[in-house]
Amino acid sequence: MLKTMFPGIDRASSALGFGCMRLPTKEDGTIDEAQAIQMIRRGIDAGVLYVDTAYPYHGGESERLVGKALKDGYRERVILTTKLPCWKVEKHEDMMNLLDEQLEKLQTDHVDFYLLHALNAERYKKMKELGYKEFMDEALRLGKIRYPAFSFHDEHDVFMEILHDYPWKMCQVQMNILDGDKQAGLDGIREAGRLGIGVVIMEPLRGGLLADPPKEVREVYAAEKETRSPVEWAFRYLYTMPEIITILSGMSDMQQVEDNLRIFEKAERCDISEEEKHLYETVKETYLSRMKTKCTGCAYCQPCPRDVAIPKIFQGFDRSLLSEKGSFKGGYARIVEDKADASRCIACRKCERACPQHLPIVRYLQEIRAVCEG
């Protein structure tokens, strides 16, 4: 397992982090606890030193599951990270109350990194007004958190402002082959490195999209001298960057765990060649030229008040554009049968306000509906 070190805090981590947003579920949608615990412990036993969860994951049950998984001595072996749900904070006291609730669910007296979750310009302004700095200082003094951090979804200039506003020890940002110029961007990652702030990556596979590329992309990879799977190419794009300390992977079954462990057991820090840089640009251009929504499937837009299955519709449609068959009509028809299709949308735009990618969700829903019902 490729080991890494967070700058300025002398804390070892692993290049692979276990993200607990996409744990295995049963037919009723609840977490398959036995399988999830087995997966998390298998990762830790193989050298994974970083476990990430958050208040809203799996309807609020992810933290509780992680607490169970880290019993029997596993808690002491990892960096444990969770996040303050900023959207639930209405007054200063709420921050400590929420942290205490999370510590109870996680069955621990402290977390290592504690993040202000999914900051954008609006939430950042709100948290400043409610005194997030004083809260972080107090939580650190009490030993309830070890290191202050934030996760981010907005434009580059907002990221830079937040980055310089507090002595952060880590920032969590979205980055992958397709997103070098989105959100924090590569320039933001480099600035964090310059400031001695460790970078943790989310969405390295773009919600799984990079794991199952279209024929054209597979042909690009196949032409390379080194034989790597699409997943391995995607992770390599990230772990070669010196500023990136840990890459989160939301693993949903044991096969994904084993595949990721195999990749990171032989991974190593290195400079990628100009040929590889050209490879990644070609892959990026091929994807973006064929996709419409570019949804990552994060499900921040859920639940919809009208039960519209937005991520399922968007990701299904994008994947159809990347496949040889090129039709989503069959998949959309099944969503209609489940009463979760775009016709139910009332354009309340609650989803658009929650979307980290700032997608025009209502417009995309109607355009996809027109294609699939036409």
Please indicate, yes or no, whether residues 216 and 133 belong to a single structural domain of this protein: yes
For residue 296, tell me if it sits in a domain: no
For residue 281, tell me if it sits in a domain: yes
For residue 316, tell me if it sits in a domain: yes
Q: DSSP letters of 123-146?
A: HHHHHHHTTHHHHHHHHHHTTSEE
pLDDT at 315: 87
For residue 294, tell me if it sits in a domain: no
pLDDT at 260: 97
Which tokens go with 177?
């082959």
Please indicate, yes or no, whether residues 178 and 219 belong to a single structural domain of this protein: yes
**Separation of alpha carbons 162 and 191, rounded Å:** 12
For residue 72, tell me if it sits in a domain: yes
Tokens 């993200």 map to which residue? 19
Please indicate, yes or no, whether residues 342 and 201 belong to a single structural domain of this protein: no
Please indicate, yes or no, whether residues 195 and 319 belong to a single structural domain of this protein: no
Please indicate, yes or no, whether residues 55 and 100 belong to a single structural domain of this protein: yes
For residue 37, tell me if it sits in a domain: yes
pLDDT at 319: 82
pLDDT at 194: 96
pLDDT at 324: 65
Tokens 């019993």 map to which residue? 71
Please indicate, yes or no, whether residues 345 and 203 belong to a single structural domain of this protein: no
Task: Assign residue 249 the CATH number of its domain.
Answer: 3.20.20.100
Please indicate, yes or no, whether residues 33 and 86 belong to a single structural domain of this protein: yes
At how many degrees (to 10) do helices 329-337 and 310-322 cross?
Answer: 160
Q: What is the extent of the structural domain holding 152?
A: 3-288
For residue 305, tell me if it sits in a domain: no
Please indicate, yes or no, whether residues 187 and 320 belong to a single structural domain of this protein: no
As averages over each run of 10 residues, the pLDDT of the chain (374 residues) reads 92 96 94 98 98 96 98 97 97 98 98 96 96 98 98 93 97 94 93 97 90 89 92 96 96 96 93 92 90 83 94 89 78 93 95 90 95 88
Domains in the chain, number: 2
Please indicate, yes or no, whether residues 241 and 356 belong to a single structural domain of this protein: no
